[in-house]
Amino acid sequence: WIVADSVSAALVESAEELRAWRKTLLGSCMQWLAVSFSGREPGDENTKEQEKRMLLRLSELLDTREPLVFKDKTVRVDLDSLYDPCFLLHLFGELTRPEFVVDCRKFLDSNALGLTVTALSSYDPQMRAAAYYVLAAYYSHLEGARFREQSQVLYLLDVVRNGIKVPNLRLPFTVALFIAKAALQILKPEEHMYWKISKFLLSHENLNMDKLPGFYQFFYSSDFQQKTEQEWVLGILRQGIRDRQCYELCSRRGVFHIILSFFSSPLCDEVAQNWILEILQNVAHITRSAYEIIRDYSLLTWILHILESRFVETQLLSNVISLLHTLWVTNLGDKAAEQASQPPCQPGSHEPPKMLALHIVSEFLYVVITLTKHLRPTLASAQLINFFWTLESVLSYRATIIKTFKDMGRFTVNKVTLSTKDVLVLLHKWSLIERDMKLQGALKAIIEQHQVKDLMKMLKDKNKPGTAARAKGPRGRKKRHGEVEETAEPELEASSLQMCKDLLRATLTHWGPVVTIPVPTQESVGQATPRSKTLGSTHAAVSLVAAWVLRSLAERPLSRAEATRLLDWLKSHVLPYPAVVADLLRDSAVKSGIFRLYSRQCSAQGLAEPAQDVTCEFNTVMLQLLVAQGRIDSPFHPVVEALCLDCLNEEEEAKRAPTAFLVSLYLKDIWLGAQQPNTFLHHVRMVCEAAKDGPHGEAEAITVLCRDIDSTLDSPQLTSSPEGSRKLRPRFPGGVN
């Protein structure tokens, strides 16, 4: 090793030669270990020390410190905790060389045979060839071995070999897993499955690689221990569906029809139901199969049938949420990103963007909304995040499809996505999850005032004692002896709670409430709306949702996309209805939240590109809220309205930013209750005075703007009376007048 290290140091400059040299050392190291392990005496401490040092060298050689050439993003396990088949197959090949003595039973008991068999499902032909080589070498050792299960293992390998008709055939992973588990079962004669698998193997001369071995025999067994056989074959499916070949194998044999039907059977207990959902989730991770199982097996309708139950166990509900989330993510793929990056499609375009079918998106939405009524605090934070993310993603993608169809000139029906009842149920469930007593009280008042039957029933169920609701499990079964009652999870972590709240807020801004009363006329604009004792159910819901959204937004800054969506929602579905606006503005917490949100948006970052357009839109919204409060008697209001309009229409950043800034000064003064916008007036006068004292030349945009405003304030219309003149020209500090 001293010589080897010297050679390695000399080859540092040449990466290719160093890599070849390390491969040579690795092969020599493995050969030495193989010889040492097979020929060492049990109590030889000196050899153990040498092996320990050699294993350290082996670890150094295996650590290449090079970036991964290939990384499967769909793998959901830590790769560092897995065995490397490239290393192990090489090691097994050395251990099973003809000149060595192999403990064949230990090779089987350590699952080395199982790993070698599962390597036959690899996509790499060289890895499959290595696995076939190891199996052939092991078979030759097995023929001369002497242990109790030798003949059974030999027969199993004969059955597998007879079923391989093509050289270097790639086996479906499900079949390879069956062979590996059958081999391990040979060592457990005390178990029931030992006799069933032995009987199955003895009835076959070869294993058909295009079928799922033993599925029908085990699943439809008439044995007294039929439950054990079903669990064994379901375990094969849980672990064995990895790729499209496995899905097609099970689909051809009618496996999915059988397990989907069995799910609703009284013979299917809760454990088997959860296993079936795990099997379906494995299918949902496979790109094309996730779409085909929805199309061919009506999987979304099947899930809907589960959710129509009055109560769904928490573990079952968690698996349903995971399944829906995985199905949506896999089917969506990169379509949302591609859609966002493409220019809008013009009418008559020959290449429309690739999108999911609208009816599938609508089915997803209906199922997710139906799932809402089953949400509860006992769900884990990861499942809650998955649910709210899926709901918001489906709504966003559906809105994108509707907009694309509109740009293409297509006719679309049923544009409404969320109903008022859906929104109230969402808020009710969220109030239970977050333990928001204030929100629960507001919801209860609205539901009882407007007599919403379904929601009143939900409130009654909530007020029932917890033991009564959990007295029985699925299908009315009694709790087993020792079965623990469901208890609420401890409060969610702050980060998880905030993420769920952000997703819920984004979901609520997709709601377009359908109002039945006419939009107010022009004569009513500018008049403070009195509080209505008979506020309609839809208006009351809009007021509650808007109040919750605005209060929650005051806790954190908004991104540009979030702010744009919120402002569009307020302008479209809140501001047109004075009764709702008046109800909102009576809440001091809402007013304070709006002002804090507006102040953050009008910071230096908000006045710079690309956030300028959001600030200008926010100015428009704030101006309309001032109008709703009746604050339009100020003579400055028409001037600021004109500035706000110019800000929206202006394209040059140099002119747009100062305009938005001056409007924000006026709005902040009036919003806080000032009779006159003194900060706004002071700033205009000071800029004008500073411009007079400064060097003459081309004036800046804000200077030109302030001069125009100053001349407007001096116009006869605004200074027609001495009182108006005195109001418009207050005394400024520092002698500036």
Q: Is the preceding omega at residue 530 within 30 degrees of 0, hence cis?
A: no
Residue 78, pLDDT score: 61
Highest mean pLDDT among 181-185, 519-523, 656-660: 181-185
138: nearest Cα among 169, 167, 161, 162:
161
C-alpha radius of gyration, the chain, whole number: 36
Highest mean pLDDT among 141-150, 386-395, 420-429: 386-395
pLDDT above 50: residue 537:
yes
CB 447, CB 459: distance < 8 Å: yes
Distance CA(46)–CA(558), nearest Å, equals 67
Render pLDDT for 170-225 as a digit per residue (tens, 0 to 9).
999 999 999 999 999 999 999 999 999 999 999 999 999 999 999 999 999 888 99
CB 156, CB 204: distance < 8 Å: no
CA 15-20-24 angle, to 5 degrees, is 145
When pLDDT is cut at 50, 70 and 90, the band that residue 2 belongs to is: confident
Phi, psi of 667 (to 5 degrees): -65, -40
Residue 734, pLDDT score: 37
Tell which wins on pLDDT, 679 or 476.
Answer: 679
Residue 466, pLDDT score: 45
Residue 317, pLDDT score: 96
Helix ranges, 264-380 (H): 270-284, 287-297, 299-307, 314-332, 335-341, 358-371
Residue 472: helix, strand or coil by DSSP? Answer: strand
Residue 488, pLDDT score: 47
Exposure of 251 in the CB half-sphere (CA atoms within 13 A): 16
Distance CA(325)–CA(382), nearest Å, equals 11
- Point out which residues pair with 472 in neighbouring strands: 478
Distance CA(456)–CA(466), nearest Å, equals 18
pLDDT above 70: residue 447:
yes
Average pLDDT value for residue range 710-720: 59
Average pLDDT value for residue range 383-411: 90
CB atoms within 10 A of CB 153: 23
Mean pLDDT of the chain: 81
Average pLDDT value for residue range 28-46: 73
How does DSSP assign 415-456, residue by residue?
Answer: -----HHHHHHHHHHHHHHHT-HHHHHHHHHHHHHHT-HHHH
Average pLDDT value for residue range 465-479: 45
Distance CA(510)–CA(505), nearest Å, equals 9
For 266, counting Cβ atoms within 10 Å of its Cβ (0-12 exposed, 13-18 middle, 19+ buried), the class is: exposed
Render pLDDT for 74-133 as a digit per residue (tens, 0 to 9).
545 566 667 788 889 999 999 999 988 889 999 999 999 999 999 999 999 999 999 999
Handedness of CA 450, 452, 453, 455 (dihedral sign): negative
For 633, counting Cβ atoms within 10 Å of its Cβ (0-12 exposed, 13-18 middle, 19+ buried), the class is: exposed
Residue 727, pLDDT score: 44
Residue 117, pLDDT score: 96
Residue 535, pLDDT score: 55
Q: Which residues contact 87 (CB under 8 A, 6 or more apart)?
A: 62
When mean pLDDT is compared across 81-95, 270-284, 443-457, 477-491, the lowest value belongs to: 477-491
For the whole model, what pTM was predicted?
A: 0.80
Please give, one letter per residue, the 3-state secondary structure of 638-658. HHHHHHHHHHHHCCCHHHHHH
Residue 652, pLDDT score: 62
CB 575, CB 615: distance < 8 Å: no
Question: Domain residue spans in the chain?
Answer: 2-66, 631-737
pLDDT above 60: residue 380:
yes
- Point out which residues pair with 478 in neighbouring strands: 472
